[in-house]
Structures are given as C-alpha cells and as structure tokens.
Amino acid sequence: MSNTIRFGVSLDEELLRMFDAILVDKGYTNRSEAVRDLIRSSLIEEKWGDGPEACGVLILVYDHHRNDLSRRLTNIQHEFYEVIITSLHIHTDHENCLEIIVLKGATQKVRELARGLVSVTGVKFGVFNPAPGGSEFK
C-alpha cells in the first residue's frame, strides 16, 4: 500500500483498554489492522445495496415443530430460488434448527428474501449479514 496515510485517534483510556482486549482475543497483531477491518465493515454496511446486485449470509434459528414453520420457510425460499446460492440446515437439538443461507443476486430480491424470512412468525432469531459482492473494498 504505497498510499498509506497515518492519522491519530484520541480515545478514552478505558475504551482503548477494552479495544486492546478485543484485539488480543481476535488475534490482531496491531491496532491498525483492526481499525482497517472496522472501517471496511462500516463501509460495507453503509454502502450495501447501492448497486444492482448484492450478496450476504442469512442466519435463522427456529423450532421446526412450530405451526408448519419449516414448510412455510421452504415455500418462501422457493419463490426466491434465483438468489439462493446455497443453504445449510443443522439440527441443533430435538426442536431447533439453524439455517444458513448464502444469497447473491438482484439487490431488491436479496433484501426482500432476507426481510421476509426473518419476519416469519416463529423464527426465534434471524439476522442478515451483508457482504461486498466484489472488489469494491480492498
């Protein structure tokens, strides 16, 4: 990176102590790399969905015994098959399932599917993690 710019950051001592503890826990060797990752993450979150195509990972946890929930979730996914790259279904215990769905395609379709699945009654936990679709963040 020949165009690296150095800048200073002022932090409260306690905030810096907590940040340094996280760096050690996550295996960072220096603060700069951690700050770069935080900035990239923030930019991805801010810019995600600006283009015609988008991608990300959807995580769902639900009780598969509840009110035909598995069938309802599957039916919704079939309506959006063109943006589902792959999915992983894990039985976490006798009642609960963890489903991980990788999405890529038209931004509006990805957004609609993610919001639609997370909001289905009976889903205990649902979160969509946006990801950059290409080389827009180096």
Distance (Å, whole) CA 53 – CA 65: 35
Token pair of 98 as six digits:
């963890």
**H/E/C letters for each residue in the chain?**
CCCCCCCCCCCCHHHHHHHHHHHHHHCCCCHHHHHHHHHHHHHHHHHCCCCCEEEEEEEEEEECCCCCHHHHHHHHHHHCHHHEEEEEEEECCCCEEEEEEEEEEEHHHHHHHHHHHHCCCCEEEEEEEEECCCCCCC
pTM for this prediction: 0.77
Give residue-wise pLDDT tens across range 116-132. 999 999 999 999 999 88
For residues 122 and 62, the answer to whether their CB atoms sit within 8 Å is: yes
Find the farthest-apart pair of alpha carbons in the chain and give their distance in angstroms, rounded.
58
pLDDT at 133 > cutoff 80? no
With 0-12 / 13-18 / 19 or more C-beta atoms within 10 angstroms meaning exposed / middle / buried, residue 101 is: buried
Residue range 85-103: mean pLDDT, rounded:
97
Distance (Å, whole) CA 120 – CA 72: 8
pLDDT at 109 > cutoff 70? yes
Residue range 65-88: mean pLDDT, rounded:
95
- C-alpha distances (whole Å) from 131 to each of 6, 14, 54 are 27, 31, 8
pLDDT above 90: percentage of residues in the chain: 75
Please state the domain extents for the chain: 13-47, 53-131
Residue 136's pLDDT is 52
pLDDT at 1 > cutoff 80? no
Superfamily of domain 53-131, CATH level 4: ACT-like. Chain A, domain 2 (3.30.70.1150)
